[in-house]
Structure 1
């Protein structure tokens, strides 16, 4: 990737919490004004040592204003070919030097004190390898309440993670070594790469929580990935079947993952049938294979991989 002159730029240091620097990664594709706002919300964090790495995921708009802002602050700037947010976050993480990692989507922003509060949470619980905070949600200009299934919580979140994303990439701070152990975001997934990663993380790790709402999350944009990729449950189904291939799931975890996979296959089949799409038959076949409880998950995974780039 092309690297800006500040790619290993100096951290914004408060002089507190020595040795626990947080590397913050912001991927962006276009959205210049929104990205400028996101970057500003990081640069104004106090009470924690951090470095910022902004990754331009092959923007077609002029990224000059972002690069200038980042390099004036002596922070890191990378430019990569356009491959999506997962590969862009991974590229930023590979250039990170902090013991902790944090991510911020380009259309979200952080409230003051976000990093400081989460760093305190992790220092108070040395065995904790990741923690998150709660969020304020907007749809366009209107504030909305997050659905209960998406409300950030703590503890053993594996069961909830099978159903829906219950860790927000913009809210989490995690051990950089843990991110490496997990292999980062799965770059095969064009969307739902966050669902996949946090599902794998929650399989073996408890999640800490700072209960304050320290992330402002904005939705409803025309360019949101969810609008570009319909039937997103096919990507979540892929993540679940991939997880079922792991031999170290507990009996309870395997049951929860299989139950969620069957349900998502059923929903996909019903949705495709309602739209008259030929893919309905494929999803019904996936559901039948999963219900048998005996099929080779690798066979299902291979067939699903073909569906990720096909008609939903």
Structure 2
């Protein structure tokens, strides 16, 4: 059984999702499975992903939104740890290795997240001070705005039995809702390394 289940939800992002998948396959940590949940793409995504063969688990569903897609990935996951990657983001090669090592060294920790490199319309930008990251009981810091990117987090699968999964009734901010539930119950630990590239400013973001 893989220790980590990496889950990529995607919808009509053929070019982006290929790069996201490649960033997972380039991880220095290799004990993972990669689940790609296609939320009803009609842009040739399914055909493009055939090149990966058994290196990914490809699942197609009718278009129901990113929450349903992520939850479908959770249902299929076999790993001890869960890591989401939005299909327009990228992981740097040591992302999983550093996070799994942290979780193994701190078995009481349920979730950790990392720093991010922000790219907006192809240009690297510096996050504003209000987007500073925190470690520990971060719930008060989460109230003004969402500070955790889904692509940066690594969680023990058991955490979802405590807090539930993504709410499919929310049209936006579905990840924010989850992080508030998590941060209200558990300390959230920050790894101060830039281990993901978060790309935005394009019109087809799954959530904003």
TM-score range, shorter chain: over 0.9
Normalising to structure 1: TM-score of the pair?
0.64
Give the Å deviation of 1:193: 0.3
Q: Which moved more, 1:175-184 or 1:111-120?
A: 175-184
Of the three residues 121, 125, 129, the one matched with 1:140 is 121
Give 1 or 2: higher helix fraction.
1
Aligned to 2:182: 201
**Offset of residue 165 of structure 1:** 0.6
User: Which structure has the greater CA radius of gyration?
Assistant: 1
For these two proteins, the number of residue pairs brought into alignment is 208
Q: 2:43 aligns with which of 36, 39, 61?
A: 61
**Is this contact kept in 1: 2:18–2:49, CA < 8 A?**
no
Match of 1:108 among 81, 89, 94: 89
The 1:98–1:225 alpha-carbon spacing in structure 2 relative to 1, beyond 3 Å, is: closer
Q: Could you say which residue in structure 2 is the equivalent of 1:44?
A: 26
Stretch of structure 1 that moved more, 145-154 or 87-96? 145-154
What are the superposed Cα offsets for residues 251-310 of structure 1, whole Å, 9 maximum, x if unpaired?
A: xxxxxxxxxxxxxxxxxxxxxxxxxxxxxxxxxxxxxxxxxxxxxxxxxxxxxxxxxxxx
Is residue 108–residue 218 contact of structure 1 (8 Å, CA) maintained in 2?
yes
Gaps of 5+ in 2: none
Q: 1:71 deviation in Å?
A: 2.4
Separation in structure 1 between the aligned mates of residue 47 and residue 18 of structure 2, nearest angstrom: 8
Structure 1 residue 27: Cα displacement:
0.3
**Is the aligned partner of 1:96 residue 2:80?**
no
Shift of 1:72: 4.2
Is 2:46 aligned against 1:84?
no
CA contact (8 A) 1:149 1:166 kept: no
Q: Tell me, in whole angstroms, the C-alpha distance in 2 between the residues paired with 1:169 and 1:226.
A: 11
SS in 2 for 1:36: helix
Q: Report SS of the residue matched to 1:98.
A: coil
Mapped partners of 1:192, 1:144: distance in 2: 22
Residue pair 1:54, 1:70 contacting (<8 A) in 2 also: no
Structure 2 partner of 1:213: 194
Q: 2:134–2:141: 8 Å Cα contact kept in structure 1? A: no
Over residues 34-89 of structure 1, what are the superposed CA-to-partner deviations in whole Å (9 max), with x where a residue is unaligned? 0000000001112341100000000121123443134242x211111111111100
Contact 1:44 1:112 in 2 (8 A): yes
The match for 1:176 among 157, 161, 171 is 157
Q: Distance in 1 between matches of 2:41 and 2:27?
A: 26
Indicate if the aligned counterparts of 1:70 and 1:77 stay in contact, CA closer than 8 A.
no
CA root-mean-square deviation: 1.6
**Residue 223, structure 1, aligned to residue 204, structure 2:** yes
Pick from 17, 29, 36: which aligns with 1:35?
A: 17
Number of the residue aligned with 1:26: 8
1:70, 1:76 within 8 Å by CA — same for their partners in 2? no
Offset, 1:225: 4.9
Q: TM-score, structure 2 length as denominator?
A: 0.95
